Chains A and B, each alone.
Chain A
Amino acid sequence: MKNPYEELPERSFWRPAIAEKYALDVSSLWAPKYELLPNHAVATAGSCFAQHIGRALVQRGYNWIDAEPAPTIFDSRTKKDFNYGIFSFRTGNVYTAASLRQWIYWALEKEAPPAEIWKRKDRFYDPFRPNIEPNGFSSEQELEDSRNSVFCAIRKVIAEADFFVFTLGLTEAWINRGNGQVYAMCPGTQAGQFDPELHDFKNYRFQEVENCLRDCFDTMKSNNANLKFILTVSPVPLTATASCEHVLAATTYSKSVLRAVSGQLRDERIDVDYFPSYEMITGAPFRSMFYEPNLRSISHHGVNFVMDSFFACLESTYGPSKVRYGGSGASSRRRAKQREAMETICEEEMLDAFRGALK
């Protein structure tokens, strides 16, 4: 009788799948549970790396939902400065599962929307997306109107999406001790003022992340039973940690928890898949070749490798999709534009500005 390994495919063995291959020829890293067709409505949210997914979908002619678009006549710089067209709704980066749950609960009125607003000089900032407007809002009313627009966009996404792609970024967050609300960033970094009596550091554990994601999925599915989820983990390391660990150890903890939760949910739920973008960048076979010299930012080659793999895996599993494709045949000008577009908006990098205070 054959042992279980004898009938496994090549991709199950390190030597033929990895050791005997040039890194860029490593393939079949993902066996997608579901076919993603160009007419499927796909929503994206999550940490900075998630920004690439929406863009790649658009470039390849897929149906990415932009539920909160800027006027088409506005230039790309304005759209980027004001965070339009980055994610399917204008939350800015959503780094943690708890933060995603919060936005969904607010949008679907499972929880009352936040009352907290930060003020600096005569401008108003949203604690849950402090970087969404370059100079804040002109009034509290304007901030609340804009927040209501996000809630509306989230509801639209939940109702219309076939796939919701969420990129998990961090386990670390800052929360309000009083009401438990999760801030997008540590108060006092981009806006607001840090108050040790009010603001508490939180490093989410496996069970907490899993519970948050289950709550998100169940809540969204109660509004759209056909919705499916694709989880990814951002390969971008932490800019800074408040955990008192070394930042490398803290990064490993964060990413390990997020990766493990993703795997658990993928295995347990039929409606959840996991796309291994994290492995495609951080895996030993790739020898950190996709990192910029700071060993944190991902080069456009890395982004292209990940996104090309995403579509290649879909194609190898389900066959080619007939879509408008601006990929390999793109002109150098278009490629330059794509590189420019790949510059992500990453609030977490702001933390690096506070490094000097530790010296």
Chain B
Amino acid sequence: MKVCVVGNSHIAALKKAVEDGALEDADTDIVFFGAPGRNFNKLRLRDRMICGPANLQDMLLRVSDGLYTRIDPSEFDVVVIYAGRFYFHRLLGSIHRVLRNDVYLSDGCLSTGIDRWLTSKHVFRLTKKIGEASPTTRVILVPRPIPAIGEDDNSGSAAPNAKSPWVWDSLEPSFRKKIWSICQQSASRKGVELFPQPESTIDANQFTKAEFTAHSVRLLKPQVKHPATEVSHMNARYGEVFLLSLLAHLSSADDHANRTTDTASA
């Protein structure tokens, strides 16, 4: 099976896992492609190829180990669009915050709000276009991993010490699963398959277990470690768990037409 993982800095965990031999026993050829940070949003689908602007060529080559400056999705069995700015945890936290304050959101409001949020994302639109342009390739969108503790990104905020609106202390797994299910239904209606963060990587408070962020690696400078306070990027162990989970899902869901129906277990 030929798999291409397209993403931003978060694919470093998956790439390192492969480099460390996580998929040695699997009959899978895996290619990494993408660009970290805001550069990911410069990726486009042109002439049925995933590509970036000229000033991104060096970066794309480095990420793909000198192999690709553009990707033809139809050459792969599976294309995984990984992370980008698909912040599922921010959606989760933002909804949780108002519900915790006794505000009621109807099913109609939840599904409309989530639908519009999801489809406004560059990464979602890119995934949808790739899927439409490459009908024989299975295209899967994966959210960013949930941070290991409450992410507190207040850059540019007038109140830098205030907690971001998506931070929670603790929430119920059933709530996370419900919101994920709405995301899946919304994506499915538009022909996009979502695949969740593996359940085994999530702790009781619905953050990623801390063990998966220790010694996380960078995409372009693997030798430079993230600071110890980094809680968003994952390590090679996480990459291994994710890839094994993905491969198990791919092998268990042979029916391409049913690809969007049974991943509500997140």
Contact = CB atoms under 8 A, between A and B. Distances in A.
B45 to A, nearest CB: 24
Interface in B27-64: none
Interface residues of A, number: 25
Contact of A133 (B109, B117, B166): B109
Contact of B107 (A71, A73, A142, A149): A142
A220 B98 CA distance: 25
Contacts, number: 70
A144 to B, nearest CB: 10
A73 B112 CA distance: 12
Contact of B113 (A74, A152, A153): A74
Interface in A127-165: 133-135, 137-138, 142, 145-146, 148-149, 152-153
A122 interface: no
A145 to B, nearest CB: 5
A307 interface: no
Contacts of B109: 70, 78, 82, 133
A69 B117 CA distance: 17
Interface residues of B, number: 23
Contact of B112 (A68, A82, A146, A324): A82
B91 A146 contact: no
B229 interface: no
Contacts of A135: 108
Given A75-B117, A78-B116, A70 B105 contact: yes
B103 A69 contact: yes
Contact of A73 (B101, B105, B106, B166): B166
B108 A137 contact: yes
Interface string A73-85: 1110110011000
A72 B117 CA distance: 11
B112 A72 contact: no
Contact of A75 (B90, B95, B113, B165): B113
B106 A77 contact: no
B116 A77 contact: yes
Given A74-B113, A149-B102, A133 B108 contact: yes
Interface string B85-128: 00000110011011001111111110011001100100000000
A313 B108 CA distance: 42
Contacts of A71: 91, 94-95, 97-98, 105, 113, 165
A145 B108 CA distance: 14
Contacts of B112: 78, 81-82
Interface string A49-89: 00000000000000000001111111101100110000000
A137 B106 contact: yes
A152 B103 CA distance: 8
Q: Of residues A74, A81, A324, which shows the largest number of chain B Cβ atoms within 10 Å of its Cβ?
A: A74
9 contacts: A68-B103, A69-B101, A71-B97, A71-B165, A72-B165, A73-B117, A73-B165, A133-B106, A138-B106
Interface of A: 68-75, 77-78, 81-82, 133-135, 137-138, 142, 145-146, 148-149, 152-153, 324
Interface of B: 90-91, 94-95, 97-98, 101-109, 112-113, 116-117, 120, 158, 165-166
